Each structure stands twice: as C-alpha cells, then as structure tokens.
Amino acid sequence: MDDIQLATTCGITTPMVGVSNYIGGEQLLSLPLFYGMGREEAEELAASGVVFFGKVKAGFHIAEEAQECVSLTFVLSGVTNVETWLGCGGLLKETIQSPLMVQPERFFGLSQRYSRTFTACTDCSIMKLGKNAMLGLFAKHPVCRVNMSNMLCTIAQRREDLLVGLPGGSVGRRFSQMLSAASLAPSGHKHLDVKMVQMAEALGTSRLNVSLALNGFARLGLLRLGRGKIDVYDLQELSQHAGE
C-alpha cells in the first residue's frame, strides 16, 4: 500500500504537503493519549504503519462540520481556526494553537460526525489513527484506553459544569457562560458573527438588555462591538469580570 492509499485509508482528504507513514516514538509520547506508554512500545507503534502523518496547507479544512469522523486526528504543529454554529444562528470563530486533538468525543458514540469546522490557519502537521488501529491500540495498550477515557470524561464534566445554571444570573454572566459552553478553548480571543436580536433570543432577554451588558464589557476593554460582530479579547478574563 503506497502513501496515497495509506492517507486515504486514514481519512486524509485535504491537500497535503507531503505524506509519511512513520513518525518517531518520542513524538507519540508527547501526546496525552500515549502518556504512560513505554519508549520501546511507542517506537514499535510508530514503526508499525498504523500511524499516519502529513501536512494540511493553510486555508484548507482539517475536518468539517457534519463530516463523518473516521479517524482520530491530532494537530501536531501550526495554528487552527475553529468555527462553531450557535443555536441562535450566530457563528463563533476561535484560533487554537497546537497540539490539538480534533473532537475525540465524536470518534465513537451516538453521533460520529464533527460538530465544528477545523481549518488550517498556517500549514499544519497532523497525525491520524483509523478506528481499527485505535481498537487494536486499546486492546494491546490498556494505558491508552485509560487515557482516552480520562479525556472523554474531562470533556463531559467541563461541559456539564458550564451548562449548570445557564439561564440564571445577570445578562453579562449568561453571555459569558453561553460563550464558554460553545467554545472549544476556555480562554483566548473569540469572534462572534451574530446580531443583537439573535443574542437576545439566545439569552432569553431583550435586545436593549444585551446591548447594555455588552457595552459595559466594552467600556472595561474586555470586548469590541461592531455591526453584527463581537470580538472578545480573552474569554477567561471576561468570565472573571462576569462573576463566574
């Protein structure tokens, strides 16, 4: 099987800048999924041909919303743009530095399709593991199964904590909670393409109340408002000011 066939088998369908079917065990051990694995085991896995490595050019998708999740994808280097559609019709955009595991909670379970779109902002090095390879990995290396379980539990617990009490509190607090629940990363810059009317509907209040709350944040230098746009400079700082 040549490199193109290997890449296709692993779900790499975006334009690549070179494809390789081998990476070093040292690089594997730096990823949370492989914590606790022995060095010799990591080298053996890296040389086995089931781990695939490539690069996605800037501007091309790494994964798209509604696309079937056929492999577990890691962004090893580069910067990724993540887009998430909100229930109110707005669009959330955030920039994530590597390393990044692309929605591992979508790899198995009821919905095995991505709920966000991941686009390479710069040329990104990626690694992929197909489902059969992952099942074999879990059977042979229990520590990887434990690591995966811990990561999925952490994702579930964080989301549950964010959703508890969402309707209550001030409008500003509800805005920061909603943004935290929708964001992939808990801090950093967030850009929203959303109208005040849409945001008011999502928060269960009036457009005037939303405007007053967001303008208050703007006066504190926490965000910038534009026509149909909101730029939050740092979500963690906003959440602290909102009383979370």
Q: Computed from CA positions of residues 152, 158, 160, 162, in that sequence, does the dihedral angle turn out positive or negative?
A: negative
Element (DSSP H or E) covering residue 91? strand 91-97
The predicted structure's pLDDT at residue 212: 95
User: For 107-145, what is each residue's pLDDT tens digit?
Assistant: 988 999 999 999 999 999 999 999 999 999 999 999 999
Q: What does the alpha-carbon distance between residue 42 and residue 184 come to, in Å, rounded to a whole number?
A: 29
pTM: 0.84
User: For 143-174, what is each residue's pLDDT tens digit?
Assistant: 999 999 999 999 888 877 766 655 567 899 98
The predicted structure's pLDDT at residue 19: 41
User: For 96-113, what is each residue's pLDDT tens digit?
Assistant: 999 999 999 999 889 999
Listed by start position, the domains of the chain span 3-81+94-161, 165-242
The predicted structure's pLDDT at residue 4: 34
Q: What does the alpha-carbon distance between residue 118 and residue 104 come to, in Å, rounded to a whole number?
A: 13
**Residues in the chain, overall count:** 244
- Look up residue 126 and give its two tokens: 């990626």
Determine the CATH number of domain 165-242. 1.10.10.10
Tell me: pLDDT of 220 over 50. yes
The predicted structure's pLDDT at residue 53: 83
CATH class of domain segment(s) 3-81+94-161: mainly beta
Same fold, 3-81+94-161 and 165-242: no
Q: What does the alpha-carbon distance between residue 13 and residue 33 come to, in Å, rounded to a whole number?
A: 24
The predicted structure's pLDDT at residue 188: 92
